[in-house]
Amino acid sequence: MDTEIIKIDRDNFDEDELQRAADIIRSGGLVAFPTETVYGLGGDALNKSSSEKIYAAKGRPSDNPLIVHIADTSQIDRIAVLDKEAYQIEDVPGKVRALAERFWPGPLTLILNKKEEVPYETTGGLNTVAIRMPSDPIAMAFIRRSGYIAAPSANLSGRPSPTKVSHVTEDLSGRIDMIIDGGDVEIGLESTIVDLTDSKPMILRPGAVTVSDLSEVIGEVIYDPGIKVGENVAPKAPGMKYRHYAPKGEMVIVTGSARSVKEYINRRAEEDKHDLIKTGVICADEHVLDYRASVVKCTGKLGDEEAVARRLYSILREFDAEEVDMIYSEAFDDEGIGSAVMNRLLKAAGHRVIDADEAMSS
């Protein structure tokens, strides 16, 4: 299949430029497009064969549900149940309204009970549906012209989500009809997912909208116990159980004082060099000269977790391209979007964390 690439200037485009892309969606084809979080791989959410094509193009297990993207809150009613009686949580319709008002368009996905209109192929067989209204103007215009767009991240299954159009072409050229090139994304990590179909509002995947942002609007919000380190419970979002975001090389997160972290990583990198293992380090800009690994990648200024979010997936892909065998990463602050950064980093590392203070003192 030939994949057409069209370039759209996010700050200055004519919506008509997106009509051909929308026509592809309406006739059952697939189009990758930018959103503010990561690039998405779009198909008609209400057409089961489009959803099947999405799974095939990504090589993704079909029990992993897709997020339905909308451009207007009035679209919710056709795909999700909005009766109070259908939920255990108090006043779900009111909560949806309040959350949409505050965070949409933006990096928040809501899980609600689905209506019949949404095929089980789109929801991975579940009776619930994930809904999001992205803020990227290209995404908004594209969805407005297409209807309901089912879109997972536009990467091959198991690879980091795409934050640049080159990541999308790398993974999906020849597998889909069109790629809309809107340049680099703004946030770099996938949306926060909040489930409203359980007994309490629950975060299934942390993102740029944080637990405290949400609590300000709807009161108590809990984390899915399945996404916490060390819990022996399956995560509720089927996608969170896969070893996602994983670089080809082995990865470990090193915590502790800056000095111990530096000493520990340099000692290990020295040993690795001896064993002809190619090493990589992920660190803050200020520490770039401290490390003696084969490749050192900077995430941005110390304490700038938004910069880490923007750079992380690119860095993981670069390590793959450079065939780095062993990656050591500094840990980042767990506040704000930092909690989403650490969630993805821990997954990439298969939850392997070393306390450098302890390691250097023993």
Q: How far is the CB of 129 from ligand TXA (least distance, A)?
A: 6
The Cα–Cα gap between 89 and 36 comes to 30
Q: Which residue lies nearest ligand TXA, judged by its C-beta? A: 239
Which of 22/111 has CB closer to ligand TXA?
A: 111
Which of 26/241 has CB closer to ligand TXA?
A: 241
237 binds ligand TXA (CB under 6 A): yes
Q: How far is the CB of 182 from ligand TXA (least distance, A)?
A: 12
Which residues between 21 and 60 bind ligand TXA (CB under 6 A)? Answer: 35, 37-38, 40
Query: Going residue by residue from 177 to 216, which x/- string records binding to ligand TXA, judged by CB under 6 A?
Result: -------------xx-x----------x------------
The Cα–Cα gap between 129 and 115 comes to 8
Q: How far is CA 271 from CA 148, 260, 276, in A?
A: 53, 17, 9
Q: How far is CA 344 from CA 64, 240, 265, 312, in A?
A: 18, 10, 21, 9
Which residues between 120 and 179 bind Mg ion (CB under 5 A)? Answer: 153
The Cα–Cα gap between 66 and 121 comes to 9
Picking from 252, 229, 270, the residue whose alpha carbon sits closest to that of residue 354 is 252
Picking from 314, 305, 325, 339, the residue whose alpha carbon sits closest to that of residue 163 is 314
109 binds Mg ion (CB under 5 A): no
The Cα–Cα gap between 337 and 305 comes to 6
> Which tokens hold the place of 140?
């908004």
66 binds ligand TXA (CB under 6 A): yes
Query: Considering only 151-159, 173-181, 210-218, 349-357, which stretch makes contact with ligand TXA by CB under 6 A?
Result: 151-159
Number of residues interacting with ligand TXA: please give it, by CB under 6 A: 29
Length of the chain equals 362
Residues that bind ligand TXA (CB under 6 A): 35, 37-38, 40, 64-67, 109, 111, 123, 126, 128-130, 132, 134, 151-153, 190-191, 193, 204, 236-240
